């Protein structure tokens, strides 16, 4: 029988670092020569597989995450010096604070709140509900690729005493951010918190965000990016690219971009008042905390119950931490306004 050795992503990283084997190069050449296949609507096959992978990953892992971390599936916001010894309740508060801080940074004012919001890549609806409740929105809509998440988001919303269905229509559905089932000019605020990194076509992503916004409406994208390249650099180092490649496999991510790319895409699309920022220091304590909860008896039981995709996700958590610590990975924000009609 063949003996399959399980190896940590880090050990693989050390191996491949710097080595450029002829076989790997030949493989790459061959892949490039093959014509990209597409499905009926023209979506490249690798994107179809990626989407299926994302849906399966969140179908499988959302329950474990919710058990330990609750309804928010994103980084917390930590004041300088805080974060080292926080309880899970405090980490959950930091996650809610993230939503509030991002809204404040973006210039969404409580005096002129958005009436209708779209949450692109909504998870189980944590931000959707928080924003609808905070501003008393008429409508909040969330989209996700995961059927489990859409169902669970509906369930939590139905049980949420802060949301009155007579006043606020909140709903969730399975839909693709790159091909949204909404009319042009539908929403006052389009919000995407830690979903952009999953999008294989950033240009289409930004153009869909623009399309569904009402004129005068605001977009907010908070997403994982790689660092902005220096003037002399054409790409990330081989080591950095390998680090991201391992993370991509575990978290179902396509190639990364820098925040400068998002800025350029937003500008080309016609957005105005574009602002970007880097909050990597503000999220620094997060991955250590996630790793700690994964290694508790409860966390380990949850991982074992959930399945291989979730376990692989947990196994690369140290790589996320490494990526942030070495400055390869950035926690970026972008907000912009769709020009009002004259």
Cα 208 from Cα 202, distance rounded (Å): 10
- Interface pattern 248-287 for ligand SAH (x via CB under 6 A): ----------------------------------------
How long a stretch of residues is the chain?
342
- With respect to ligand SAH, which residue has the nearer C-beta, 50 or 303? 50
Least distance (Å) from ligand SAH to the CB of residue 56?
Answer: 10
Please, what's the largest Cα pairwise distance for the chain? Answer: 72
- Could you say which residues in the range 291-320 bind ligand SAH, by CB under 6 A? none
305 CB neighbour count, 10 Å cutoff? 11
Among 59, 176, 185, 203, binds ligand SAH (CB under 6 A): 176
Q: What is the CA radius of gyration of the chain?
A: 20
Pairing of strands 187-193, 213-226: parallel
The answer to whether 91 contacts ligand SAH (rule: CB under 6 A) is: no
Angle at 320 between CA 252 and CA 76, to 5 degrees: 100
- With respect to ligand SAH, which residue has the nearer C-beta, 178 or 247? 178
- Interface pattern 110-129 for ligand SAH (x via CB under 6 A): -----------xxx--xx--
Cα 244 from Cα 66, distance rounded (Å): 26
The answer to whether 206 contacts ligand SAH (rule: CB under 6 A) is: no
- Interface pattern 134-173 for ligand SAH (x via CB under 6 A): ---------xxxx--x------------------------
The answer to whether 131 contacts ligand SAH (rule: CB under 6 A) is: no
Least distance (Å) from ligand SAH to the CB of residue 21?
Answer: 33
Q: Is the dihedral of CA 222, 226, 231, 234 positive or negative?
A: negative
The answer to whether 218 contacts ligand SAH (rule: CB under 6 A) is: no
The answer to whether 334 contacts ligand SAH (rule: CB under 6 A) is: no
Q: What are phi and psi of 236, to 5 degrees?
A: -65, 160
DSSP 39-64: -TTS-BHHHHHHHHHHHHHHHHHHHH
DSSP 10-41: HHHHHHHTT---HHHHHHHHHHHHSPPPB-TT
- With respect to ligand SAH, which residue has the nearer C-beta, 54 or 259? 54
The answer to whether 178 contacts ligand SAH (rule: CB under 6 A) is: yes
Among the listed ranges 24-32, 72-80, 182-190, 326-334, the one in contact with ligand SAH (CB under 6 A) is 72-80
Least distance (Å) from ligand SAH to the CB of residue 22?
Answer: 36
- Two tokens, residue 239: 């080591």
Contact set with ligand SAH (CB under 6 A): 51, 54, 58, 72-74, 121-123, 126-127, 143-146, 149, 176-178, 193-195, 198-199
């Amino acid at each position: 029988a063949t003996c399959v050795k399980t190896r940590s992503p880090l050990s693989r990283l050390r191996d491949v670092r710097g080595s450029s084997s002829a076989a790997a190069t030949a493989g790459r050449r061959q892949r490039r020569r093959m014509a990209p296949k597409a499905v009926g609507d023209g979506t490249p096959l690798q994107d179809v597989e990626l989407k299926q992978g994302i849906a399966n990953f969140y179908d499988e892992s959302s329950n474990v995450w919710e058990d330990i971390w609750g309804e928010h599936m994103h980084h917390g916001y930590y004041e300088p010096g805080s974060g080292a010894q926080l309880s899970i309740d405090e980490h959950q508060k930091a996650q809610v604070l993230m939503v509030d801080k991002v809204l404040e940074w973006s210039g969404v004012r409580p005096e002129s709140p958005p009436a209708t919001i779209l949450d692109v890549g909504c998870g189980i609806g944590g931000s959707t509900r928080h924003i609808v409740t905070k501003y008393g929105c008429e409508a909040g809509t969330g989209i996700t690729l995961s059927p489990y998440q859409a169902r669970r988001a509906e369930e939590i919303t139905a049980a949420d005493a802060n949301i009155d269905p007579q006043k606020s229509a909140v709903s969730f559905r399975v839909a693709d951010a790159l091909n949204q089932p909404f009319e042009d000019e539908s929403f006052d605020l389009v919000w995407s918190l830690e979903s952009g990194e999953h999008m294989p076509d950033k240009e289409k992503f930004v153009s869909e965000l623009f399309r569904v916004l009402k004129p005068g409406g605001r977009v907010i994208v908070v997403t994982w990016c790689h660092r902005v390249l220096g003037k002399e650099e054409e790409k990330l180092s081989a080591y950095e690219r390998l680090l991201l490649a391992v993370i991509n496999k575990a978290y179902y991510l396509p190639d990364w971009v820098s925040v400068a790319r998002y800025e350029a895409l937003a500008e080309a699309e016609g957005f105005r008042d574009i602002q970007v920022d880097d909050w990597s220091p503000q999220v620094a304590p997060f991955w250590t905390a996630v790793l700690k909860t994964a290694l508790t008896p409860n966390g380990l039981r949850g991982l074992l119950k959930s399945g291989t995709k979730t376990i692989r996700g947990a196994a690369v958590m140290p790589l996320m931490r490494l990526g942030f610590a070495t400055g390869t990975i950035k926690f970026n924000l972008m907000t912009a306004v769709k020009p009002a009609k004259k």
